[in-house]
Amino acid sequence: MIADNITVRYGGVVANDSVSLEVRPNEIVGLIGPNGAGKTSFVDAITGFAKSEGTTSLGGENISGLAPHLKRRAGLSRTWQSGELFSNLSVAQNVSAPLRPGGLSVMIRDIFVRRGNKVDSAVTAALRVVGLNNVSDVVARDLSLGQQKLVGVARALVGRCSILLLDEPAAGLDSNESEDFAERVREVARSGPGILLIDHDMSLVLGVCHRIYVMEFGKIIFTGTPDEARIDSSVMAAYLGAPLEESDV
């Protein structure tokens, strides 16, 4: 995925100012910055949920003008900060939701009949990648928070997904859950999709990402490796506050 000169305006406020970045297959790219920097606005823009200028291309094709569901169908998928699940439905039923034409009513109807083979295989593949294939029949409310987060990732992966945008997926996780989540993010990338990871958990971001972009006041102020980000003065001033040691990740 290549996002080129993405600009988002809300009235007189410029949330994103000519933001450009690239995410390649099998690559984990971090997008970090303080609250209000414009990270979620950027994700909303490239996925079609916010009006923007600039272009977004996927696999060499310009998908800028597509509606959100068509961008999803093209392979650009995302998770949401809220990450709500259907608490009374099973893991597999939650993950299969994007594959159900006709929306929620059709999905609920299908709960009472056998799922189709194509849906079954796609859901099984997504759950295997995130390590939840052994809890596919468990009701979502009975999962740990970390597992619930992974259900959201599997739901974004199911079907065609070449680029996955993770918007603060580790929010609320403790350190052990975050470590487990990090390994699952690596596994997702190894399975094929490129990942754009937005999170305030610096141990997670610096530990799993190949490259990092830092955003401040709607602009990209740094691009480089995690090691370079740890010591870059502009990154320190904008976000991290002090250089991170290896023991922090």
Query: Is residue 182 in some structural domain?
Result: no
Token pair recorded at residue 191: 């399975």
Residue 112: the pLDDT is 47
Query: Is residue 101 in some structural domain?
Result: yes
Query: Is residue 49 in some structural domain?
Result: no
Helical packing angle, 175-190 and 117-130, nearest 10°: 130
Q: How far is CA 91 from CA 2, 63, 95, in A?
A: 32, 31, 6
The CB-based long-range contact list for 101-106 (8 Å cut-off, 24+ gap) reads: none
SS (H, E, C) 219-241: EEEEEECHHHHHHCHHHHHHHHC
Contact 9, 60 (CB under 8 A): no
Query: Is residue 152 in some structural domain?
Result: yes
Query: Is residue 19 in some structural domain?
Result: no
Query: Is residue 108 in some structural domain?
Result: yes
Contact 10, 60 (CB under 8 A): no
Token pair recorded at residue 76: 């650009």
pLDDT tens digits for range 106-130:
445 554 444 445 568 889 999 999 9
- Mean pLDDT, each 10-residue run in order, the chain (249 residues): 98 97 98 93 97 97 96 94 85 88 51 53 93 94 94 92 95 92 96 96 94 96 94 81 50
pTM: 0.88
Residue range of the domain that includes 126: 84-159
Show the CA angle centred on residue 234, arms to residues 165 and 42, nearest 5°.
25
Query: Is residue 136 in some structural domain?
Result: yes
Query: Is residue 132 in some structural domain?
Result: yes
SS3 of residue 99 by DSSP: helix
SS3 of residue 169 by DSSP: coil
Q: How many domains does the chain have?
A: 1
Q: Roughly how many angstroms between the first and final C-alpha of the chain, as a whole number? A: 27
Residue 114: the pLDDT is 47
